[in-house]
């Protein structure tokens, strides 16, 4: 089964009706779920997205994320080695706007040999991944 990585920007757009990508995200998500793809993320993405949703939109939206979207995801847990490799990626990139969460996502994708990501973040395309939508 093909695995697709799910990024924070896509998750956020799914729950935020104010996000400029909301309609696009919902359409893409429906296709991914219907297509019986294995949808993967990591716990750093979940923490980042939950925090953004809670602080920007409120607990009702965080609850929606937790109850209606996260159950569809296979969550890879970042261990110490993964964390340290992610930090190495941040420092090696020497770019202020490339986050630890992004680098942990790249690391997860490389470890699991995932080539495609559902995201609105151009950093993934820059890293050579196939981007949905």
Contact (Cβ atoms closer than 8 angstroms) between residue 118 and residue 10: yes
pLDDT of residue 1: 83
- Residue 133 counted as domain residue: no
Q: Say if strands 130-132 and 74-76 run parallel, antiparallel, or are unpaired.
A: unpaired
**Which pLDDT belongs to residue 131?**
98
Note down the domain range covering 84. 3-128
Domain total of the chain: 1
Query: What CATH number should be reported for the domain holding residue 63?
Result: 3.40.50.1010
Give per-residue pLDDT as tens, 91-106.
999 998 999 999 999 9
Q: What is the pLDDT of residue 102?
A: 98
Give the pTM.
Answer: 0.96
The low-confidence residues of the chain, meaning pLDDT below 50, are none
- Domain membership flag for residue 21: yes
Contact yes or no for 90/99 (Cβ under 8 A): yes
């Amino acid at each position: 089964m093909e695995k697709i990585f799910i990024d924070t920007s896509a998750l956020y757009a799914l729950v935020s009706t104010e996000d400029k990508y909301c309609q696009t995200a919902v359409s893409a998500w429906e296709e991914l779920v219907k297509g019986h793809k294995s949808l993967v993320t990591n716990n750093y993405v979940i923490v980042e997205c939950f925090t953004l949703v809670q602080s920007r939109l409120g607990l009702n939206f965080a609850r929606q994320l937790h109850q209606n979207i996260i159950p569809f995801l296979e969550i890879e847990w970042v261990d110490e080695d993964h964390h340290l490799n992610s930090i190495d990626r941040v420092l090696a990139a020497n770019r202020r706007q490339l986050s630890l969460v992004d680098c942990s996502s790249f690391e997860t994708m490389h470890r699991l040999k995932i080539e495609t990501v559902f995201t609105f973040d151009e950093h993934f395309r820059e890293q050579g991944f196939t981007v949905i939508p």
